[in-house]
């Protein structure tokens, strides 16, 4: 259907009991053109959504069902919010012809060798990869519009690619020696209990993790190489922060702030959610929390030939569920901002 039709798009979610699932439910429930009719969560099948997410108790929502109980006749669009490797297992079982938006990592990497290298397991649905579109909305809008399987990006990847891709493709920076410093909120690690994310381990401190091993490196290298013919060399340094939401990326650049700022400002002049701040203004994750906005700041270094670019977004929204819905809006020819214009919650 399109926005001119009367009937809403019928939407189902597979993987509804994680944080990303909860955000999909929340955002879809207030969307003017989407109607949520099924939410799959195998472990919680039969339970009410409000029993797992009490913050959604005021909404009229269907109960969780198992994947086996899902009725595909009644679905135009499926959001799949499962962990990687689990996602491919499920997606191969979905009848052909359904629009699918996958929030896992399973269809992000175009080359199967890269998937198997970084994820350490065989890909069982590689035949679907060919039709997959990397879901970085503002860059791949046309492909998303015509796509049937969208592979939403990693949250850190989105925050990194937004400032870097335009600079690479316009030749403002070379990509052979990029340091990508990441600060990541703990909700990115999901809702399953693991010792390293309990409050007493995370709060009141900062800890780097997965240096040299973070799987988002693979996405970044793939996309950087599409943006430039030059050699790519990146060092990716992720840090786990004592906060729930938010990704911050800070990248030192061997170009003056003025050129960097002008390039980004121009590139995103029509992008409703990517806001390039006035030059020398510094963004903060606090200012995008709970929203689909990405703020990008460009600041001069004390050596004025150099600068630092910083981008921030809410990992669960612009980095995940909001990105997915923005992509869905584009696929179904709605305004891309539909259901996504809520302001950040501060403080």
The interface region with a copy of itself, picked from 4-12, 121-129, 132-140, 196-204 by CB under 8 A, is 196-204
Question: Which member of 80, 152, 155, 294 is catalytic?
Answer: 155
Q: What are the residues facing 245 on neighbouring strands?
A: none
83 binding a copy of itself? (CB under 8 A): no
State how far the Cα of 72 lies from the Cα of 304, in Å rounded to an integer: 58
116 binding a copy of itself? (CB under 8 A): no
Least distance to a copy of itself, CB of residue 97, Å: 32
92 binding a copy of itself? (CB under 8 A): no
Q: Which of 63, 67, 308, 335: binder of a copy of itself (CB under 8 A)?
A: 308
Q: Which of 15, 16, 183, 322: binder of a copy of itself (CB under 8 A)?
A: 183
The interface region with a copy of itself, picked from 7-15, 74-82, 156-164, 234-242 by CB under 8 A, is 234-242
Q: Which of 15, 135, 175, 283: binder of a copy of itself (CB under 8 A)?
A: 283
271 binding a copy of itself? (CB under 8 A): no
Q: Which of 53, 64, 79, 115: binder of a copy of itself (CB under 8 A)?
A: 53
User: Could you give the C-alpha distances from 304 to 28, 85, 116, 277, in angstroms and in order?
Assistant: 46, 46, 42, 19
Kindly give the residue spans of alpha helices, DSSP state H, lying in 53-122. Answer: 86-91, 112-119
CA 162 to centroid of chain Cα atoms: 11
Closer CB to a copy of itself, residue 63 or residue 143? 63
191 binding a copy of itself? (CB under 8 A): yes
Residues in the chain: 347
State how far the Cα of 259 lies from the Cα of 49, in Å rounded to an integer: 49
| Orientation angle between helical segments 216-227 and 112-119, nearest 10 degrees | 150
**Inter-residue contact 216 to 271 (CB < 8 Å):** no
The total of other beta-carbon atoms located within 10 Å of residue 335's CB is 14
120 binding a copy of itself? (CB under 8 A): no
270 binding a copy of itself? (CB under 8 A): no
Q: What φ, ψ does residue 195 adopt, rounded to 5°? A: -60, -35
State how far the Cα of 168 lies from the Cα of 163, in Å rounded to an integer: 9
Closest listed residue to residue 143, CA positions, set 182, 178, 110, 191: 110
318 binding a copy of itself? (CB under 8 A): no
155 classed as catalytic: yes
22 binding a copy of itself? (CB under 8 A): yes
Closer CB to a copy of itself, residue 109 or residue 277? 277
DSSP conformation class of 83? P
The interface region with a copy of itself, picked from 78-86, 88-96, 156-164, 338-346 by CB under 8 A, is 338-346
269 binding a copy of itself? (CB under 8 A): no
Q: Which residues are catalytic?
A: 155
């Amino acid at each position: 259907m399109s926005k001119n039709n009367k009937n809403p798009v019928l939407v189902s979610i597979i993987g509804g009991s994680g944080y990303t699932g909860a955000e999909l439910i929340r955002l879809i429930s207030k969307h003017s053109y989407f109607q949520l009719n099924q939410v799959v969560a195998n472990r919680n099948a039969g339970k009410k959504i409000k029993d797992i997410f009490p913050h959604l108790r005021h909404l009229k929502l269907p109960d969780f069902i198992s994947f086996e109980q899902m009725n595909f006749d009644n679905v135009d669009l499926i959001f799949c919010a499962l962990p990687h490797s689990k996602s491919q297992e499920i997606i191969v079982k979905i009848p052909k012809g359904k629009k699918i938006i996958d929030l896992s990592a399973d269809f992000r990497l175009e080359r199967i060798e890269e998937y198997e290298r970084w994820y350490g397991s065989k890909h069982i649905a590689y035949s679907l990869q060919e039709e997959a579109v990397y879901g970085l909305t503002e860059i791949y809008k046309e492909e998303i519009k015509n796509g049937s399987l969208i592979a939403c990006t990693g949250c850190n990847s989105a925050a990194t690619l937004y400032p870097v891709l335009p600079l690479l493709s316009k030749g403002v920076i070379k990509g052979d020696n990029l340091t990508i410093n990441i600060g990541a909120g703990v909700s990115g690690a999901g809702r399953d209990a693991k010792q390293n994310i309990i409050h007493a381990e995370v709060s009141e401190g900062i800890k780097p993790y997965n240096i040299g091993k973070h799987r988002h490196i693979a996405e970044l290298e793939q996309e950087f190489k599409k943006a430039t013919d030059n050699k790519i060399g990146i060092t990716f340094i992720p840090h786990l922060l004592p906060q729930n939401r938010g990704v911050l990326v800070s990248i030192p650049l061997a170009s003056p702030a003025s050129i960097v700022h002008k390039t980004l400002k121009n590139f995103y002049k029509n992008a409703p959610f990517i806001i390039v701040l006035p030059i020398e203004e510094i963004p903060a994750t606090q200012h995008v929390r709970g929203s689909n906005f990405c703020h990008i700041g460009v600041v001069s270094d004390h050596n004025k030939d150099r600068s630092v670019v910083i981008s921030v977004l809410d990992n669960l929204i612009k980095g995940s569920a909001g990105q997915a819905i923005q992509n869905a809006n584009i696929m179904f020819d709605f305004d891309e901002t539909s259901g996504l214009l809520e302001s950040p919650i501060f403080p």
